[in-house]
A and B are shown apart, each in its own frame.
Chain A
Amino acid sequence: MAIERQSYLTRRSFLLAGGAGLLAAVPLARAGIRAARHPDEIFLSASDGADGRHFVTACDLRGRELFSVEVDTRCHGVALHPSHPGRAIVVARRPGTIAYDVDVHAGVIQRRLESARDRHFYGHAAFSRDGRVLFTSENDIPRSQGVVAVRDAEDLRVLAEIPTYGIGPHELLALPDGDTLAIANGGLVTDLADGKQRRRDLNIPDMDPSLVFVDVRSGRLLEQARPDDHFASVRHLALARDGTVAVAMQYEGPETNPYPVLGFHRGGSAIETVSAPHELRVRMQRYAASVCVSSTGVAAVTCPRGDTVAFFSTNGDLVASHEVRDAGGVATIAGGSRFLVTTGLGEMREFDARTGLQVADPERIAEIRWDNHAVATLRG
């Protein structure tokens, strides 16, 4: 299944040649700065090739592709197993029906998971903290209601299904208590009859997005928090050490309202949006793709429409922002001291997780378009 992209062949042989010392002077002149940098860390992300084919790709932090496995459909989120850093579930983007169980160290797809009849995925999954179950966010198609399938982590069989108390669930977060799942309910009904390319949303005027906390054993709703504007579709989540949940949103209301699409939930029923200067809010273009919180308590949010990456402290204050074209994935690396940001132009950039300042030059693989989400793990 590991089909190599034609266009990578030349680059790969170039790298091999470089390793053999032939062309070493060219890359090392630049690579010297970062040669010692977290050499064991790699990241995994869905990607597209320049020719539109779809892949799951692993890459090291120096921009060297480790493998690309071709997949049938464009993928989105990556769920890393908490105790097996070589195992990840990569989910087709909504409204896909396929997920892939990837052996990151071997560079192969071990298994292909299909959603049940009358269900489709929403591009995200998460393992429980103990690694024994996998949660997938899904659509109960006949009822157009969100559900989470609770699956055996070994054979991926559905053990139970719990409601998300909303429509269009997206990213999931297994909280450290082991019992609670945080779920982003985007609130949008996708028109499935329209095919998978142009995903029409049918209920924007009535959308009711929320962040919910659900007891995974009983399926009971523990808490439901709504943004202060019902057009703010709650899509992506990240957890801070103090339990604060960072909430990345996509604003479906009037374009003339530069809604700040990052908020924090600190308990209770409110999602408090960040205090960003008006100019930055306009620049974010009402659309966040991915969010990540470092151990230093800084949240990074990517805004590909606005070509912006912004960093906020979890109390909501702006730390830094940068123009980064088509910024998509963001992950913590180097023990949480840095953020990795990937882009649709094939770039990999690193930022200091405390200051939000860019560190080192960006790497780039021109043939790759990184999808919205990246997850860091360790080499095998």
Chain B
Amino acid sequence: MEQHRFDPHASRTDVRPDLDGHPAAVNYGAAPPRGASARSGWAAGIAALVGAALMGLSCGGGIGGGQQGSLPTTQVGRSSRLLEDLAWTALLPQYQAMTASFGTLDDAIAAFCDAPAAAGLDATRAAWRSAMESWVAASMFQLGPIAEDNRALRIEFWPDANNNVPRAVEQMLVRDDTLSADTLARQSVAAQGLPALERLLFDPEADALVEFTSGDRAARRCTYARAIGGNLLGIARAVEAAWASDGGYATQLASAGRGSDVFATREAAIDEVVNGLFTALSASRDDRLAGPLGGDTAAEAKSFRAESVWSGNSFANLAASLRGAQAIYDGRAGFGFDDYLRASSRDALASQITETFASLQAEITALPVTLAEAVQDEDLRPRVVALLDHATTLAGLIETDLSSAMDVKIGFNSNDGD
């Protein structure tokens, strides 16, 4: 959703995210000094380099932004601008937000474990929720560095139909081997990520504070929690670096059809992005809503299938997933698919998709209990069913209407993986 008229390149030097995955401040001025903060200064430094690289990439071509403040006038120009803004304005900030929130979580774990107390546990739990939501928002874009090294599964192994996470956590707690971020990175994916940490922080079978302070495995619990925090931060930093580095994924996406090693044409990139958005929205609907709903009645509900069921963060995750998807759709402050549609006289569709995102968010906000409770509640369950229906509508708008407007085919063989 383009809200500003601005030089699309100058603005990218400083997009500092807050914890819930949104850029808190978009500073159109110079980059902040390197090392301005221990966590985000590094990212901002890279972003500055990237901004400079991008200038070289698209200036002089007359495409992809072109004149300052004006909308691109040709289809090629619009596609280029869409991909540039998707990379730099919509997606990179999402990964920067993830790094920042994982950093806060790592710090919170350290502070809590240095002196375990109720306030520290609360702070760590809050940091976990922010980290989870920033991850879920970022996870809606499944291409690129996040797809390497099992990173997505290492951050969040879910759905977990076989209860691998509780078993892996149990095993990690009883062992006495050396455990650090580095050694954890080589363990089972189920033991490494946010659900494992959730299990420690929101232990459904015991009082977590007691377990962390005086339980017979208290020390191990902290060692393990610290390892998870460090491992997660390491993954987030690696992903962000792989996006922001010279010739990294942001550049590859932005330069589709203009020397990119990943996308031979702009169309191929847009095709992958729209297919990916549809796939992510469908999977999110199936896993986050259809799974816990179970069957047709409250008696058939499978509340244990809810994501983040121990912390009760399921609805917040769902909201984050929609924010992440919407960022892909509207490009945040950049030139997004909505702007592309409007430039192609498809204003009604552009608005319909935006409004569907908004009404889904409103429906989620209005639900007074957790998802696990709602699916089992005769009165509230219909509202979850309605959410599922509207999530299906949204996926359908992407699959049918957006893809047709963008001349994208939702692949059959291309999505097969065989």
Contacts and interface: CB of A to CB of B under 8 A. Distances in A.
Contacts of A200: 153
Contacts of A287: 414
Contacts of A343: 413
Given A193-B161, A193-B162, A283-B264, A255 B249 contact: yes
Contacts of B150: 202-205
Interface in B117-154: 143-145, 147-150, 153
A202 to B, nearest CB: 7
A370 B161 CA distance: 32
A76 interface: yes
A202 B18 CA distance: 32
A370 B414 CA distance: 12
B411 A306 contact: no
Nearest to B152: A200
Given A194-B161, A255-B262, A306-B268, A202 B153 contact: yes
A289 B414 CA distance: 8
Interface string B377-418: 000000000000000000000000000000001011110111
Nearest to A343: B413
A233 to B, nearest CB: 10
Contact of B286 (A197, A326, A369): A197
A231 B186 CA distance: 18
A287 B149 CA distance: 18
A255 B412 contact: no
Interface string A121-162: 001000000000000000000000000000000000000000
A345 to B, nearest CB: 7
A57 to B, nearest CB: 14
Given A204-B150, A255-B262, A256-B249, A307 B268 contact: yes
A197 B164 CA distance: 19
Contacts of B413: 289, 302, 304, 326-328, 343-344, 369-372
Contacts of A170: 418
B261 A282 contact: yes
Main secondary structure of the interface of B (DSSP, over half): loop
A305 B262 contact: no
Interface string A191-219: 00111011110111100000000000000
Contacts of B416: 93, 289, 304, 371-372
A330 to B, nearest CB: 11
B189 interface: yes
Contact of A93 (B161, B271, B418): B418
A282 B263 contact: yes
A283 B249 contact: no
Contact of B268 (A278, A285, A302, A344): A285
A304 B411 contact: yes
A218 B173 CA distance: 46
A170 B418 CA distance: 9
Interface in A345-380: 345, 369-372
A248 to B, nearest CB: 11
Nearest to B162: A193
A58 to B, nearest CB: 19
Interface in B204-225: none
Nearest to B144: A255
Contact of A282 (B247, B248, B264): B264
Contact of A202 (B189, B252, B418): B189
B66 interface: no
B149 A282 contact: no
B143 A48 contact: no
Contact of B412 (A197, A278, A307, A369): A369
A304 B79 CA distance: 22
Interface string A276-311: 001100110101010000000000001011110000
Contacts of B264: 279, 282-283, 285, 306
Contacts of B153: 200, 202
A193 B411 CA distance: 25
Interface string A231-272: 000010000000000000010011111100000000000000
Contact of A326 (B260, B268, B412, B417): B412
B159 interface: yes
B152 to A, nearest CB: 9
Contact of B148 (A199, A250, A254): A254
B410 to A, nearest CB: 9
Indicate the member of B143, B247, B260, B261 with the most A CB atoms within 10 Å.
Answer: B261
Interface in A312-344: 325-328, 343-344
Contacts of A254: 145, 148
A304 to B, nearest CB: 4
A194 B249 contact: no
B161 A344 contact: no
Indicate the member of B143, B147, B418 with the most A CB atoms within 10 Å.
Answer: B418
Contacts of B409: 325-326, 344-345
B283 interface: yes
A202 B150 CA distance: 7
A81 interface: no
Contacts of A371: 412-413, 416
B8 to A, nearest CB: 23
A226 interface: no
Given A254-B148, A344-B411, A198 B418 contact: no
Given A205-B150, A255-B249, A344 B262 contact: no
A204 B148 CA distance: 8
A255 B413 CA distance: 19
A328 B412 contact: yes
A119 interface: no
A16 to B, nearest CB: 28
9 contacts: A93-B416, A199-B417, A202-B150, A204-B149, A258-B262, A285-B264, A289-B418, A302-B413, A371-B413
Given A76-B418, A255-B252, 8 more contacts: A203-B150, A256-B252, A257-B261, A258-B262, A282-B263, A326-B413, A326-B414, A345-B412
